[in-house]
Amino acid sequence: AAVSTQSTGVGLLGAAVFSMGAALVDGQISADELELGHAHMHWEFNELFKSYDHKALRRGFQVYKEVCQACHSMQYLYWRMHVDVTHDVDTMKQFAAEYQYPDVDDEGNNIMRAGDIQDFMPAPYENEIKARLANNGALPPDLSLITIAREGGSDYLFALLNGYEDLPAGAAEPGEGQAYNPYFHGYYIGMAQQIYNESVDYEDGTIPYASQIAKDVCEYLAWTSHPYMDESKLYGMKALASITLFGTAMYLLMRVKRSHMRLRQLAFAVPGKEKSIAANGNVSSLSKYKQVDEMLDRAARK
């Protein structure tokens, strides 16, 4: 028994050394290459017959406007796309009018005008250089398509926003402007924690727990990546219903209206030879047609 235990221990040690050697052949092992896997959440808008929660979209827009917009842009989103989704048209006009946009007057002079719902949502920085200078060299990503641009989608974003932790013992100190987040690739993210309990005062009275705030903004960011998903699902259901009704109608039409045409037989007879055709009623159609052809040939030769 002692020999068996010793052999097992040597085998496990050898396997560990072999695995470590194989890893070193491929490249250096680094903790920066690791990240914590995120959990899977139940998002109703991902279901086939479910739509976005428009109350959550309204709250998510509020979170973006009060928390995220200071650093992150939405360059692929118009103000008008929020109409009848998060707010009415008058409210969106008021939001757009809070910002100034460059334009040209009737005489060709460069001017600044109040925003309109036909404009893109404004960027917080004029260019990439200013964005990096304001964030210690890190470039805040645009959030228009962030849900589909990150593996894991809404699950990853929710875990990231709620995953900030204190620096564990033995870990390297983060750089200036960085924070420790095990869900971020490399653990050190250039964005400090932004979401806390009661960091947003919801207009509809929803209790602003940190998890609720993160959930609402994640659903809003999912909508910005797929703003026409509800309409696509609706059109798809209409198309499936139409195809089902049309297919059923065509099947019944073939069974009821065309059954007598599919089952009838046509026979060609030479005048005076009808009885011979009738006598061959039980043979195949090909045989009858062959006999008819022969009778027609004999009639033609006469």
Instruction: Evaluate if residue 264 carries a pLDDT over 90.
Output: no
Instruction: Evaluate if residue 235 carries a pLDDT over 80.
Output: yes
Average pLDDT, integer, range 63-84: 94
Long-range contacts of 283-286 (CB under 8 A, 24+ apart): none
**Rounded distance, CA 65 to CA 62, Å?**
5
Q: Is 11 exposed, middle or buried (0-12, 13-18, 19+ CB in 10 A)?
A: exposed
Which pLDDT score is estimated for 172? 87
Give the chain's mean pLDDT.
Answer: 83
**Rounded distance, CA 92 to CA 201, Å?**
19
* pLDDT band, residue 10 (cuts 50/70/90): very low
DSSP assignment of 203-253: TT-----HHHHHHHHHHHHHHHHSTTHHHHHHHHHHHHHHHHHHHHHHHHH
**Contact partners, residue 55, CB within 8 Å, separation at least 6:** 204
Q: What is the pTM of this model?
A: 0.73
* pLDDT band, residue 265 (cuts 50/70/90): low
User: pLDDT digits over 203-225, tens only?
Assistant: 999 999 999 999 999 999 999 99
* pLDDT band, residue 37 (cuts 50/70/90): confident
Directed axis angle between helix 153-162 and helix 210-225, to 10°?
A: 150
Average pLDDT, integer, range 148-169: 93
Which pLDDT score is estimated for 270? 64
**Rounded distance, CA 97 to CA 226, Å?**
25
Regarding predicted confidence, which is higher, 37 or 273? 37
Tell me if 224 sits within 8 A of 142, measured CB to CB.
no
Instruction: Evaluate if residue 175 carries a pLDDT over 90.
Output: no
Which pLDDT score is estimated for 91? 95
- Percent over 90 (pLDDT), the chain: 59
User: pLDDT digits over 109-155, tens only?
Assistant: 899 999 999 999 999 999 999 999 999 889 999 999 999 999 999 99
**Rounded distance, CA 234 to CA 67, Å?**
33
